[in-house]
Every structure is written in C-alpha cells, then in structure tokens.
Amino acid sequence: MQIKTTKRILVTGATGQIGSELTLELRKKYGKDNVVAAGHKRKPSEKLAESGPFEFVDTTNKENIVAVVKKYGIDTIYHLAAVLSATGEENPQLAWHVNMDGLYNVLETAREQKITRVFWPSSIAVFGPDAPRVNTPQNAVLIPQTMYGVTKVAGELLCNYYFTRFGLDVRSVRYPGIISNETLPGGGTTDYAVEIFYEAIKKRRYTCFVREDTVLPMMYMPDCIKATMDLMEADPAKIKHRTSYNVTAMSFSAGELVAEIKKHIPDFLCEYKPDFRQKIADSWPMSLDDSAARKEWGWKPKYDLATMTKDMIEKLSKRFAEGSFN
C-alpha cells in the first residue's frame, strides 16, 4: 500500500543486490518520484531506471551527494554503496576508501543538510574469531579479520558517534548473507548461497567456493527488506542500539543448502573447491542472537531454509523460462 508521505529518499548503491530491490519497495510505499536511486559504476536495470529518478553518484565525492540531496530536497538516506568482503580482501585500500570515506561523506552531508534519518547496513563481518561463533551475542567482542569487517566496525562506531554527538537519527542492522533472485551479489563471501541457485537451475552443477560443512547466518531478500524498512519506521524511542542490530533468519551449511535444492532438482550436483573466501567464512558467526532486535522494534523473519529455497527456485525458473533478466 502506498502511504501519503513527505519523505524524499535517496538510495545509494541502488544498482546492487539489495539496493535494486529495496528501491522498488520504497517506491511502492512512498511514491516513485519520492525515491531517488543512485548508482556509480553499474548501469541501472530497466525496472530501476523506468520506475523513478536515477542519478550517478560517487559517494567518495561529498559534493556529488550534496548536489543530489539539494536537487531533490532529500530528507532520508539509505546508504548501501559498499565494497564487500571478498573484494575487500583483494583490494583493502579500495574497501577502506569506498566504505569509510563514503559513509563519512553521507553522515557529514546528513549533518549539514539536516537530513532527518539515515540507514546504513553493517554486517556479520564485524565479528571475528574471538567472538562466540554460535548464537553470537549482540554485544560480543568486535575484532574482525577482514578489511570489510574493519570498515563495518569503524562505521558502526561512527554512526553511534553521529547519533550521540549530533543527534543524527542513524539506524543500522548487521546483515547476514542475503539470498535473492533479482540482482546477483558481487564480491561477497556469502555469494555462493545465491550463485548456487542460478547454476542449479541452468546447469544442474555448481562448484562451491566454501566447504560443505561451512555454516553461516542467512536471510531471504523479502525479510532483508522488511528488517530494513521496519527499523526505519520504528519509533525512535525504541531504538536502543545506535551501533547496529544483529538480525538473522536462518543458519545452514553449504551441504544442507545443496540437500534442500535437491528436493526440487534431484539431479543437481555440487562439488566443493574452497578458496580464499573459506578463511573469511571461518572467521564469521555460524548463528546470531538477534533477540535485541526482536524485543526492541519487533523484528521477526518470515522465511526459513525450506520456504526460501522453494520460492527461489520457483521465481528463478520462471525468470529463466521468460528470459527476463536485467
């Protein structure tokens, strides 16, 4: 349902895996002309370009952000543009530059231009081997091993600082691996849990870059969008954590995912050839305690492994049959 709103929203990273779907949902809810999609390198899909305004914005350049904020009278920013964990290990300098300078520019723009609310995603990558790996608590020690994780920890602290020092209403969740069927992720460690569906349907074969027994927390895109939008709609009095909230929906091993896919595609074969991303996965939680998010602003996921797998296969099979890919 579209609601009457005075909100004027900017989504950075709108051509990415999460941004491409979140932007469309925000347009449904707040009106297409009130949600500006911003991308940098990747061209927008037809759906994104035709459903509302699109701008090229390099978030490492503050003037770019300020110009779009002024042009559209933006009052809310979802800042999703980022370099993910695997690319970040290949190019740590780039990860620091894009993730830290980009966030700092967004927060500074928000402070100066009197933006009312900012969303910025953190990640399970904030945790490292010193944190308990099972049911990792909200306030576990944050000593990540990746540059991506370092930028997420520093980013959480920066968001918290802008809230306490400047009163900026900035909100955040720690995304687990996100599984989706519109736009492929790029450069992440959890990408195998998405690629596997595309390859299972297209080729009945997949070579997985983590071991069969690798367990990570995951979430299906509809729940990811729900977590993001629910947090942004929550009464500010309910938001007790201004660093970032643990949120999760399910945890499974790569082998369990294969077994679930095989229930729908019995001749699917997966082999395992772990690469450098295995070490990253091994340093992350296997499951999360997200009780703070559940208690404070009512977080509750809808999808588990079985319902997510069924929906992924149905949606992707239909799209392959129609040839409707971006």
Interface with ligand AKB by CB under 6 A: which residues?
84-85, 123-125, 148, 175, 177, 188-190
- DSSP label at residue 100: I
- Residue 22: CB minimum distance to ligand AKB, A: 15
Q: How far is the CB of 123 from ligand AKB (least distance, A)?
A: 3
Least distance from C-beta 229 to ligand AKB, angstroms?
A: 19
Evaluate whether 247 touches 227 at the Cβ level (below 8 Å).
yes
Q: Count of CB atoms within 10 A of residue 77's CB?
A: 28
> Is 38 or 125 the residue whose CB approaches ligand AKB more closely?
125
| Count of CA atoms in the C-beta half-sphere (13 A) of 220 | 19
3-state DSSP call for residue 157?
helix
Distance (Å, rounded) from C-alpha 248 to C-alpha 289?
8
Locate all alpha helices (DSSP H) within the chain, ordered by sequence.
17-30, 46-50, 62-72, 85-90, 92-96, 102-112, 147-166, 192-203, 221-233, 254-262, 277-282, 291-297, 305-322
Nearer to ligand AKB, 174 or 242 (CB): 174
Nearest residue to ligand AKB, scored by beta-carbon proximity: 188
Set 30, 148, 162, 192: catalytic member: 148
Shortest distance, CB of residue 176 to ligand AKB, whole angstroms?
A: 6
Exposure string over 275-307, b if 16+ CB within 10 A, otherwise e: eebbebbbbbbbbbbbebbeebbebebebebee
Instruction: Compare residues 120 and 148 and give the one whose CB is closer to ligand AKB.
Output: 148
User: Smallest distance from the beta carbon of 153 to ligand AKB, in angstroms?
Assistant: 12
Among residues 68 and 124, whose Cβ is nearest to ligand AKB? 124
**Long-range CB pairs of 314-320, under 8 A, 24+ apart, other chains included:** 315/181, 316/181, 316/197, 316/198, 316/201, 317/201, 319/181, 320/201, 320/202
Q: Is 161 a catalytic residue?
A: no
CA dihedral 137, 134, 170, 152 (to 10 degrees): 120
For the bound state, the minimum distance from the C-beta of residue 16 to ligand AKB, rounded and expressed in Å, comes to: 11
Q: Which is nearer to ligand AKB, 109 or 228 (CB)?
A: 228
| 68 burial type by CB count under 10 A (0-12 exposed, 13-18 middle, 19+ buried) | buried
Q: Least Å distance between CB 255 and ligand AKB?
A: 19
Cβ proximity to ligand AKB, 115 vs 225, nearer residue: 225
- Decide whether 148 or 163 has the Cβ nearer to ligand AKB: 148
In the sheet that 35-39 helps form, which strands lie side by side, from edge to edge?
A: 54-56, 35-39, 9-12, 76-79, 117-119, 169-171
Interior angle at CA 225, CA 220 and CA 230, nearest 5: 125
Catalytic positions, written as ranges: 148
